[in-house]
A and B are shown apart, each in its own frame.
Chain A
Amino acid sequence: MTGPVLELVCPAGTPAALRAAVNAGAHTVYCGFADETNARNFPGLNFSRDELAAGVAYAHRAGSKVLVAINTFPRAGAEELWHRAVADAHAAGADAVIVADLGLLAHAAERHPGLRRHLSVQAAAANPDAINFYAETFGVKRVVLPRVLSVEEITAINRDIDVETEVFVFGGLCVMAEGRCSLSSYATGLSPNMNGVCSPASHVVYTEEQGELVSRLGDFTIHKVAKDAPAPYPTLCKGCFSAGGQTGHVFEDPISLDAAELIPRLAKAGVVALKIEGRQRSRAYVAAVVKSFRRATDAIAAGRPVPASELAYLTEGQTSTLGAYRKTWR
């Protein structure tokens, strides 16, 4: 007995990571330009126009697709930067663009009707009415669902829409309504949604103080981690704070998503594509995670059980969660 063939959508922060993803078996790779048009606008990362064209050619030779994330929200008066990104992705031969902003979607649909459009998780479309609006109005073919939905909710959404759905299965876990979170903006003055930087490195300081690793974002101390305890990313949503005599993680523990064991249920829920987070990670991470999840998708397609995940060593907090797919939050 065989099962569904799920598309594995893998991250690439650099051309080397793109090649690593393709070589490891990625069906599809997603990446972005080296500017604020994408939500991973970190130093030393991302693609020039020439690098994207070469990356698309490399991926296509291997039978893989390339999606270009243009998923921040254009600033008034600077829309041309985002418009040019869509045009250049189209010219480079990208298989689709991943877009969040209504205006940019309208522009892409009008000026580049032959370029497939996916709705970014940054659009936070979390119900059938919203998704159907994007599909009917802008011809969106696929929606990347927010990481706040349970498997049951995803099943219900898929019953009432006609477009493809893609869900995150591994990597950093954003627990907010994505595209609408301003925590990092408040602390640093730079926006994840408009400048493409959550917890920008320019505002992060690590120090060793009395054996503890202290992480600061702007003027805020986010963590004090004991010697030899796992270190977290410097994000406010996973910060450990003291207030009213209590100390704890307010929104979420420093932990990563690993939903490998839920892949059969996600497939049954109607999901067609599985997304791996981590464009800011190295080619070593990309190769290891893609290989592991390709084994999982091949197992599902062959009607075999999903092999056990051995990726904990790559995760924030050195441990993993099923996130909102199985809601057990306090």
Chain B
Amino acid sequence: MNHSAPIPLFPPLGARLLAPLPAGPLSLVLGRVARGMAERHPGLFTRLGPHAEKRFLIDPTDLPFSFLVWPKPSGPRIEARSRVTAADWDCRIAGPLAALLGMVHGAYDGDALFFSRDIVMEGDTEAALALRNAIDDAEIDLFAEAAVSLGAVGRLAGQRLLPLVRTASRITGVALTRPEDLA
């Protein structure tokens, strides 16, 4: 993956196909992933400190919906939202899906994405920095987290699918999982 290359965009046709999907079922799955991540990465809350109670709108600008992340230790939540209803946030971080995934997986540097205007940050800057630093230190792999959150079947499916996902990452230039040299 060439990190200095332009950020790949989600195909517009794919985004149009995703648009009619209901956000509810996706939110249920994401909620499960959030609770699992909170259990496996308690250090996230230490680094977030008081900002764990804030609401972060993670907004992939090439998808038809965004994600409201509420890390609160008493019950972390991630909800899929349509852009129309996504207003009740403290901090918004927006950019192409590939940029946001790349930051989580340690493939991209957040400041560099900000310098190049690939991502935009609005609202509570301190909360945004705390979230970015907490996630960077946690070395999260979203693919692995999603697989584990689906139980034994998910874990097995994850192991089988991992080579395919890594191949897809190399072909598309999108960090769908933690890069192998960081894993």
- Which residue of A15, A42, A213, A285 is within 8 Å of B112 (Cβ)? A285
Beta-carbon contact of A285 and B109 below 8 Å: yes
**Is A16 part of the binding interface, using a Cβ–Cβ cutoff of 8 Å?**
yes
Given contacts A17-B137, A43-B49, A231-B117, is CB(A284)–CB(B131) below 8 Å?
no
Complex CA distance for A282 and B107, rounded to whole angstroms: 9
Complex CA distance for A316 and B112, rounded to whole angstroms: 7
Q: Whose C-beta in chain B lies nearest to the C-beta of A172?
A: B111
**Is A100 part of the binding interface, using a Cβ–Cβ cutoff of 8 Å?**
no
Beta-carbon contact of A16 and B125 below 8 Å: no
Beta-carbon contact of B109 and A206 below 8 Å: no
- Which residue of B103, B112, B137, B139 is within 8 Å of A313 (Cβ)? B112
**Which range contains the number of A residues in contact with the other chain?**
35 or more
Beta-carbon contact of A285 and B111 below 8 Å: yes
Beta-carbon contact of A14 and B4 below 8 Å: no
Given contacts A228-B117, A287-B182, is CB(A282)–CB(B126) below 8 Å?
no
Q: Whose C-beta in chain A lies nearest to the C-beta of B120?
A: A208
**Is B38 part of the binding interface, using a Cβ–Cβ cutoff of 8 Å?**
no
Given contacts A44-B130, A282-B110, A310-B4, is CB(A16)–CB(B139) below 8 Å?
yes
Complex CA distance for A232 and B137, rounded to whole angstroms: 24
Give chain A residues whose Cβ lies under 8 Å from the Cβ of B86. none
Closest beta carbon of chain A to B46's beta carbon, Å: 8
Beta-carbon contact of B111 and A281 below 8 Å: yes
Closest beta carbon of chain B to A224's beta carbon, Å: 14
- Which residue of A15, A280, A317 is within 8 Å of B115 (Cβ)? A317
Beta-carbon contact of A14 and B136 below 8 Å: yes
Beta-carbon contact of A17 and B125 below 8 Å: no
Give chain B residues whose Cβ lies under 8 Å from the Cβ of A281. 109, 111
**Binding stretch for chain B, among A75-83, A150-158, A197-205, A244-252:** A197-205
Closest beta carbon of chain A to B101's beta carbon, Å: 12
Beta-carbon contact of A43 and B130 below 8 Å: yes
Give chain B residues whose Cβ lies under 8 Å from the Cβ of A287. 106, 182
Interface residues of B in 123-168 (CB under 8 A from A): 125-134, 136-139
Q: Whose C-beta in chain B lies nearest to the C-beta of A256?
A: B115
Closest beta carbon of chain A to B119's beta carbon, Å: 10
- Which residue of B108, B115, B134 is within 8 Å of A44 (Cβ)? B134
**Is B97 part of the binding interface, using a Cβ–Cβ cutoff of 8 Å?**
no
Give chain A residues whose Cβ lies under 8 Å from the Cβ of B4. 310, 312-313
**Is B116 part of the binding interface, using a Cβ–Cβ cutoff of 8 Å?**
yes
Give chain A residues whose Cβ lies under 8 Å from the Cβ of B47. 14, 44-45
**Is A13 part of the binding interface, using a Cβ–Cβ cutoff of 8 Å?**
yes
Beta-carbon contact of B117 and A207 below 8 Å: no
**Is B9 part of the binding interface, using a Cβ–Cβ cutoff of 8 Å?**
no
- Which residue of B3, B103, B138 is within 8 Å of A288 (Cβ)? B3
Closest beta carbon of chain A to B146's beta carbon, Å: 21
Beta-carbon contact of B130 and A282 below 8 Å: no
Complex CA distance for A208 and B49, rounded to whole angstroms: 28
**Is A72 part of the binding interface, using a Cβ–Cβ cutoff of 8 Å?**
no
Closest beta carbon of chain B to A54's beta carbon, Å: 12
Beta-carbon contact of A230 and B106 below 8 Å: no
Beta-carbon contact of B133 and A14 below 8 Å: yes
Give chain A residues whose Cβ lies under 8 Å from the Cβ of B111. 233, 280-282, 285, 314, 316
Complex CA distance for A313 and B115, rounded to whole angstroms: 9
Q: Whose C-beta in chain B lies nearest to the C-beta of A24?
A: B181
**What are 26 inter-chain pairs, A to B, with CB distance below 8 A?**
A17-B137, A42-B129, A42-B133, A43-B127, A43-B133, A44-B51, A45-B133, A202-B126, A208-B120, A230-B117, A231-B116, A232-B115, A282-B106, A282-B111, A282-B132, A283-B106, A284-B107, A284-B108, A284-B109, A287-B106, A310-B4, A313-B116, A314-B111, A314-B112, A316-B111, A318-B116
Known: A284-B107, A288-B3, A313-B112. 11 other contacts (CB 8 A): A14-B137, A15-B137, A42-B129, A44-B137, A229-B117, A282-B103, A282-B106, A282-B110, A282-B111, A283-B182, A284-B103
| Nearest 9 A/B pairs, CB to CB | A44-B133, A14-B137, A44-B130, A43-B130, A313-B4, A201-B126, A285-B109, A44-B47, A204-B125
Q: A residues touching B (Cβ–Cβ < 8 Å)?
A: 13-17, 20, 42-45, 48, 200-202, 204-208, 213, 227-233, 280-285, 287-288, 310, 312-318
